[in-house]
Structure 1
Amino acid sequence: MRDRIPDEIDEALWDEACRRADALREFLRRNPDGATAANVSGLAAGMNVSQATAYRLIKLFRVGGTVLSLVDRKRGRPVGHRTLDEKREEIVSKTIKKFYLKRTRPTISQLVRDVQTNCISVGLKPPHRRTIVARVKDIDLQKRANRRGEQKIVKATTAVPGSFEVSRPLAVVQIDHTKADIFVVDEETRQPIGRPWLTLAMDVCSRMVTGFYLTMEAPSHLSTSMCLLHSVFDKSAWLREREITESWPVAGLPDMVHVDNGADFRSRAFKRGCQDAGIAIEWRPPGEPRFGGHIERLIGTQMGRLHLLPGTTFSNEQELGAYDSKRHAALTLRELERYIALDIVGAYHQSIHSSLGRPPIAVWREHEGEIPLRLPQDRMRFWLTFLPEQERTLMPDGIHLFKLRYWSPALSADVGRSDRRLLVKYDPRDMARIFVRRPSGNFVEARYADVTLPSITLHEALTARRTLRAKGRREVDTRAIVRTAVAQRELVEAATNKTAAARRGKASSKSKVDDRGLGSLRGVDSSKPVPFVEDTD
């Protein structure tokens, strides 16, 4: 039963309880060693209640000793009282557990129908809808929401007694992925190609974005590694390539990264790379989304800014309405990447953060002198550790990767010397160069064999190849193929028939010659010599 407090009690009930408390205190003072039935009868008459009620009030006051203990309870069934019989209670309970507490989230009306059907099927009277709803409400709200996958309710009912804060920048960096709320278009055709994935890294202390990676591929070890590489290294050259003049001073190895339990964050390559660089990894506890609250809020902020762009999908169908995202899509992946970078170094870093009360870049600058800047001792090895890899055979004309050909003079000494496939590392953001591990064990940089080619991303390379194939398929004249195939078939059939006829004719002629020769010799004894007859003509 829910505990009550004096301030919640009705005025009349409270006054009556006070009157009874005064009478009982006086009664117990006069009868410290117990009271006779006559004494209790006199008390009951004075309080205008029955003798049984007087005994009950004496007992309540002795136990509670307060006015509140004497307040009349609401008439009716006690809270928690159940009127259904045991069999129907069991049916309701099992149906709720088996049918209602599912991630398909059936409605109350569907539950009521299912309970009623189950009761009728065994010859029992179905309980009223109110009774079934009451049983559902008896289940703890958070437990119910967890079982039904109602994450908003889970989040709203989860206590967060404290906040996660750190004392200096780069002590903890959080990384997470999200599918961007916008369609992008192809570089050449300007046709929509889908929604990209954004991987973001954020410093918990200053709330500065430490790095990001945008790709059309689903989250993987690759996207996580590329985001971490962008986070660790100086971004000056990267900004210049994108014609961004604002500064982005964040660089250095974090002490710890906070990530969720996705397979990409659990990959052996990611774990080994972090261990090698002295970066601790802390995985988010299952079912505890608040442990990644900082990065999730940042992602929400970034997605909100994308809703202003052509091709946005907004956050939900209600906001989207009749807007055709694909038809309005206008930005390429490269253009969207530059837009996000501009927004980060401009609007986000320079605006007052609600939790800090200051711009993130101001907090970073304040602590910049205190940050023990840790950079990888071997920058190239750290870089190569997190780059994706494939194995390729060294051909006389170089290394072939994604239909691109690479060459380095350093590979000349290895051509034809070994049948072993070589490990090739590549940066999907810049396919102008790759890194090849020679049989001796050291890596060498190889560049385009055709030095006139511009730098492109892996996505651009793959898209161009798909586009070329599609163009080739469109250029194919299927009718011409069919016409020539039919003509070839007819030619073969005609040639076969001619050859067969010729062979039959030759065989027939030979048979006739043989028959004429045999006819001139009929009746002649071939065992006797034929006499020579001199021609007298």
Structure 2
Amino acid sequence: MTEPLPDEVDDAQWAEACRRAVTIRRFLESSSGESSVAAIADLASELQVSQATTYRLLRRFRKDRTVMSLIETKRGRPTGHRALDAQREAIIEKAIRKYYLKPTRPTVSQLVRDIETDCASEGLKPLHRRTIERRLGDLDLRHRAQRRGETETVKATMPVPGTLNSSRPLEIVQIDHTKADVFVVDEETREPIGRPWLTLAMDVFSRMVTGFYLTMDAPSRLSTSLCLLHSVYDKTVWLKAREIEESWPVAGLPDRVHVDNGADFRSRAFKRGCENAGIAIDWRPPGTPRFGGHIERLIGTQMGRLHLLPGTTFSNAQDLAEYDSKKHAALTLRELERYIALDIVGSYHQSIHSSLSRPPLAVWRDHEGEIPLRLPEDRLQFWVSFLPEQERTLRPTGIHLFDLRYWSPALSADVGRTERRLLVKYDPRDMSRVFVRRPSGNFVEARYADLTLAPISLHEALTARRTLREKGRREVDSRAIVRTALEQRKLVGEAVNRTAAARRGKAQSRRGDDLRDTGTLRGVDSSKPVPFVEDTE
């Protein structure tokens, strides 16, 4: 059976596994892992399972320390599965939205009657009240309270405003996006292609930038995930690839990430990936920008430095005046990424921060040894949890993705033996490798089938493909196409005429043969003797 990814697990199973993970982590921290009979009995009681199951859960959790290790795989219908037909599900959803989520606060009984009426009008079997109540229980409590005007419930579900403080490195990491105040140019043509988006992550305690991601695409689950991956892992190789000699010592899993309410931070894959690694997520209350003040100030600082670059848009129209940003744009996306990295490690980290009265790097160095570095137990599993994905068929020539071909010897055993499309995870920053989930459930790393190819980003690959297609269109000789089409049309017409003439000739020949004298008399049966008539003259 294929092992699911975190975002493929049923919601109820995931919630229970998260509860168990919190309980077991607390047990391990408080007891230093002691497993006395009394301690296990107390833990089993808190987990609401038998002692045998408790030992099994502890053993599995100690192995990789993830929420996924506590997921119970069951046979049969998944927990939370709904067997109700789609038509009646749609009626329930529409009725809740149309009749129930109203400031008049209709009762559940009224909702049940409305749904019964809708089912009857469609000739469908009525629904049990408990089915409708379960659907109401699935609603987000705050959303329901806001739509129904239940102010007390809204207040009860609203976080209490306060100052965001941190007591140690990586306790809280803030992540946010901004559109860069500068235009970039294409790698090949050096023509302006637009303003990129910058995703930044910052450690609240030390004010160190933990990672960033620069892309031409709008903020998404992808940019958020890649920024987090950049934050967690060691950056030595990354810096070396960009010819940067300054150090960037930040690495490790944060305890909490603090983000806004954007859809990218609410994606199922992002939430499950964080929960699986033991990273809590705090969403800023809507309309409360003060909760993101640290990262907002960092973004303002970084944008201010970009105003010194050619192609800047400045921060307002007054500063821009008659400056033509597109005309003066000079840096490519890759060059801008290196510029930002140099500014972070060589200037921002080394400068005195107004709130700390010290450089962020000095604060980090003072405290980085106070807590053990927490890295993902299963690096590959953590990595692929946050990467984007596609489904592809395994061909004898390998995996084909974005006009690039990948191969791994581990895939040889699967060629021609499965009709299922395989899940392929890829890193848009480096398309030289992908991660393929085999039918067995294990991920394997597949590299370029052509080992002579250099690593490129997805943006570069797509741009190159688009450039080739445009070049191909420019190389098309429209007149030659028209001339060829007319010549083909003439050829077909002449062929049809010759064939028709030949067939007419054959038909006439057959008719001539029928009229030609062959020594027999038409209309006379030659098999009978002709009576002799004597000439009397």
Using structure 1 for the length normalisation, give the TM-score: 0.65
Moved more, 276-285 or 359-368: 359-368
CA contact (8 A) 2:311 2:328 kept: yes
- Aligned partner of 2:292: which letter? G
Match of 2:256?
256
Corresponding position: 1:466 with 2:455: no
Match of 1:284?
284
Match of 1:446?
446
Match of 2:320?
320
Equivalent position SS for 1:436: strand
* Separation of aligned partners in 1, 2:217 and 2:295: 21
Match of 2:181?
181
Structure 1 pair 531–481 and aligned structure 2 pair: CA distance change class (3 A): farther
Match of 2:423?
423
**1:193 Cα deviation after fit:** 2.1
Structure 1 pair 322–531 and aligned structure 2 pair: CA distance change class (3 A): farther
Structure 1 pair 314–516 and aligned structure 2 pair: CA distance change class (3 A): same
* Separation of aligned partners in 2, 1:162 and 1:389: 39
Match of 1:486?
486
Largest Rg, 1 or 2:
1
- Aligned partner of 1:183: which letter? F
Equivalent position SS for 1:198: strand
Cα distance per residue 1:132-173 (max 9 Å; x no partner): xxxxxxxxxxxxxxxxxxxxxxxxxxxx99643322221111
* Separation of aligned partners in 1, 2:374 and 2:382: 13
Equivalent position SS for 1:239: helix
Structure 1 pair 252–523 and aligned structure 2 pair: CA distance change class (3 A): closer
Match of 2:335?
335
**1:529 Cα deviation after fit:** 4.5
- Aligned partner of 1:267: which letter? S
Match of 2:167?
167
* Separation of aligned partners in 1, 2:186 and 2:531: 102
**1:302 Cα deviation after fit:** 1.0
* Separation of aligned partners in 2, 1:338 and 1:414: 41
Match of 1:304?
304
Match of 2:205?
205
Match of 2:402?
402
Match of 1:142?
none
- Aligned partner of 1:187: which letter? E
**1:278 Cα deviation after fit:** 0.8
Corresponding position: 1:218 with 2:252: no
- Aligned partner of 1:358: which letter? R
Equivalent position SS for 2:322: coil
Equivalent position SS for 2:275: helix
Cα distance per residue 1:18-56 (max 9 Å; x no partner): xxxxxxxxxxxxxxxxxxxxxxxxxxxxxxxxxxxxxxx
**1:366 Cα deviation after fit:** 2.4
Cα distance per residue 1:436-458 (max 9 Å; x no partner): 22222222221111111111111
Match of 2:351?
351
- Aligned partner of 2:278: which letter? G
* Separation of aligned partners in 2, 1:443 and 1:273: 16
Cα distance per residue 1:427-478 (max 9 Å; x no partner): 1111111222222222222111111111111111111111111111111111
* Separation of aligned partners in 2, 1:203 and 1:226: 17
CA contact (8 A) 2:174 2:295 kept: yes
Structure 1 pair 503–248 and aligned structure 2 pair: CA distance change class (3 A): same
- Aligned partner of 2:472: which letter? G
**1:358 Cα deviation after fit:** 2.2
**1:509 Cα deviation after fit:** 4.7
* Separation of aligned partners in 1, 2:393 and 2:162: 56
* Separation of aligned partners in 2, 1:531 and 1:470: 93
- After superposition, residues 360-371 of structure 1 pair within 5 angstroms as 360-371=360-371
Cα distance per residue 1:380-412 (max 9 Å; x no partner): 221121122222222112211211111112222
**1:322 Cα deviation after fit:** 2.6
**1:225 Cα deviation after fit:** 0.6
**1:502 Cα deviation after fit:** 3.2
Sequence identity (%): 82
Equivalent position SS for 2:405: strand
- After superposition, residues 118-129 of structure 1 pair within 5 angstroms as none
Task: State the aligned residue count.
Answer: 373
Structure 1 pair 394–531 and aligned structure 2 pair: CA distance change class (3 A): farther
Structure 1 pair 260–269 and aligned structure 2 pair: CA distance change class (3 A): same
* Separation of aligned partners in 1, 2:530 and 2:351: 130
For structure 1, list consecutive stretches of 5 or more residues without a partner in the other structure: 1-159, 533-537
- Aligned partner of 2:213: which letter? Y
CA contact (8 A) 2:163 2:291 kept: no
Equivalent position SS for 2:424: strand
Match of 1:235?
235
Equivalent position SS for 1:258: strand
Moved more, 306-315 or 266-275: 306-315
Match of 1:389?
389
* Separation of aligned partners in 2, 1:303 and 1:215: 15
Structure 1 pair 503–290 and aligned structure 2 pair: CA distance change class (3 A): same
- Aligned partner of 1:388: which letter? P
Moved more, 404-413 or 502-511: 502-511
**1:218 Cα deviation after fit:** 1.5
Equivalent position SS for 2:227: helix
Higher relative contact order (CA 8 A, sep 6+): 2
Equivalent position SS for 1:455: coil
Structure 1 pair 452–523 and aligned structure 2 pair: CA distance change class (3 A): closer
* Separation of aligned partners in 1, 2:530 and 2:483: 67
Match of 2:142?
none
* Separation of aligned partners in 1, 2:250 and 2:164: 21
CA contact (8 A) 2:182 2:195 kept: yes
* Separation of aligned partners in 1, 2:250 and 2:273: 20
* Separation of aligned partners in 2, 1:525 and 1:429: 97
- Aligned partner of 1:408: which letter? S
Structure 1 pair 525–220 and aligned structure 2 pair: CA distance change class (3 A): same
* Separation of aligned partners in 2, 1:516 and 1:358: 120
- Aligned partner of 2:440: which letter? S
Match of 1:413?
413
Corresponding position: 1:194 with 2:194: yes
Equivalent position SS for 2:326: helix
Equivalent position SS for 2:313: coil
- Aligned partner of 2:402: which letter? F
Note the aligned Cα RMSD (angstroms). Answer: 2.5
- Aligned partner of 1:249: which letter? P
- After superposition, residues 502-513 of structure 1 pair within 5 angstroms as 502-511=502-511
Match of 2:75?
none
* Separation of aligned partners in 2, 1:244 and 1:426: 25
* Separation of aligned partners in 1, 2:199 and 2:262: 13
Structure 1 pair 233–525 and aligned structure 2 pair: CA distance change class (3 A): closer
Using structure 2 for the length normalisation, give the TM-score: 0.65
* Separation of aligned partners in 1, 2:162 and 2:286: 19
**1:512 Cα deviation after fit:** 5.0
